[in-house]
Amino acid sequence: MASAMFSTPCSVRPVKGLDCQSYAGLRLNTDLKLNTSVSIKSKKDGQSSRRLFIARASEKREEYLQKLGRSNEEHEAAVAAGNVPEAPPIPPTPAAPAGTPVVSSLPLNRRPRRNRRTYVMRASFQETTLSPANFVYPLFIHEGEEDTPIGAMPGCYRLGWRHGLIEEVSKARDVGVNSIVLFPKIPDALKTPTGDEAYNDNGLVPRTIRLLKDKYPDLVIYTDVALDPYSSDGHDGIVREDGVIMNDETVHQLCKQAVSQARAGADVVSPSDMMDGRIGAIRAALDAEGFQHVSIMSYTAKYASSFYGPFREALDSNPRFGDKKTYQMNPANYREALVELQADEAEGADILLVKPGLPYLDVIRLLRDKSPLPIAAYQVSGEYSMIKAGGVLKMIDEEKVMMESLMCLRRAGSDIILTYFALQAARCLCGEKR
């Protein structure tokens, strides 16, 4: 009995009990799952039985494929004379299950499902793609040699800058992630109200940059420009005695921090502080020191979000008092992002970032539509930890939700994504098992 032959690859898992050698046109891989067994009720005894869907190759398959040793001209002459070679028959129309109502076809000129009919067609028309090259991997570092797990962020560690960090970067590069951003855990003894350790050329971050560039010269290193890891007050800027965050004085410190990082070999400095005017001031400071080649990724729309909790545990950088609402944006505001965008563009930013990511897809799209610059999204610690927790509790499929969330950030308009899932997601994209 003949059956349909597939003209495109069909990716299905092997079915236990089937002789895969007798099934033509099926190329097996493990990328897609197909449940080939359905449960039906027997009308006679009410017992469940299993029925397999089987696609058998034509018994005459070899005859169809056999070469006859004729020239092209001889084949054409034979067809012109009416001797058309045999090919597989037109496949039968698949039967609907018993009880399906018989209805007239709806008078639809446009049926969007036609373009979703097969895996190959869906892949052909996919509008958004996801690649390891889209990821920037945030990595926490500290002075010690031991990697310390971060309780609120399963799978993340404070990495020893000379050992664990090198190993983690190597793993990421193996699956195509060649961009990282560094976040330091600074010893309390080095923290001061003015955050002077931020621009120590022999501090943790500059030392780490030099080590990484010596080991991996082509690694793209982003750095965080802000005072909170270095501040005894835990704020992104210098705090006046009345609790006010001092803007211009903080910007002065940030310029020195950015220059120190560039001197060590940073490729992209990333001001996350949300002080007014800092992009222009940092650009001028970098250029004055000969670092015209160093890019600036501005945290353009950084919201005063509750999704940052696990991150602050990782760096032990919670504010000693108050909150960050006088410099980070109000989560209720949308149009205000345009004010920040226009300022950052005018001051010389090279990349514009939105933080957090998934709860602010509308803001990502706003920046994408209004600016020709590359857009970054930060899938923050709270987003990461919620997906991890849901996976552990079996409430969601962690891997599928992870990949969907990253695809949504791309679809909204982000060119790059800062994500703690970078290594795990890249392994999925490369076909590796977790």
Query: Based on C-alpha coordinates, what's the Rg of the chain?
Result: 29
Q: Tokens standing for 306?
A: 């509750």
Query: Is 355 among the residues known to form the active site?
Result: yes
Dihedral sign of CA atoms 161, 202, 288, 328 in order:
positive
Residues 6+ apart with CB under 8 A from 160: 141, 142, 144, 145, 146, 147
Residues 6+ apart with CB under 8 A from 346: 280
Beta strand spans in 53-156 (E): 135-142, 148-149
Say how far apart CA 153 and CA 155 lie, in whole Å: 6
Query: Is 191 among the residues known to form the active site?
Result: no
Secondary structure of residue 327 in the 3-state scheme: coil
Q: If you write DSSP's letter for every residue of 350-418 in order, what string do you get?
A: SEEEEESSGGGHHHHHHHHHH-SS-EEEEE-HHHHHHHHHHHHTTSS-HHHHHHHHHHHHHHHT-SEEE
- Token pair 């309390």 is found at 188
Say how far apart CA 265 and CA 336 lie, in whole Å: 34
> Can you count the helices (H) and strands (E) in the chain?
13, 14
- Given the residues 185, 324, 355, 388, the one annotated as active site: 355
Burial of residue 4, with CB atoms counted within 10 A of its CB: 0-12 exposed, 13-18 middle, 19 or more buried: middle
Residue 254 near residue 282, CB atoms below 8 Å: yes
- Given the residues 185, 302, 324, 388, the one annotated as active site: 302
By annotation, the residues acting in catalysis are 302, 355
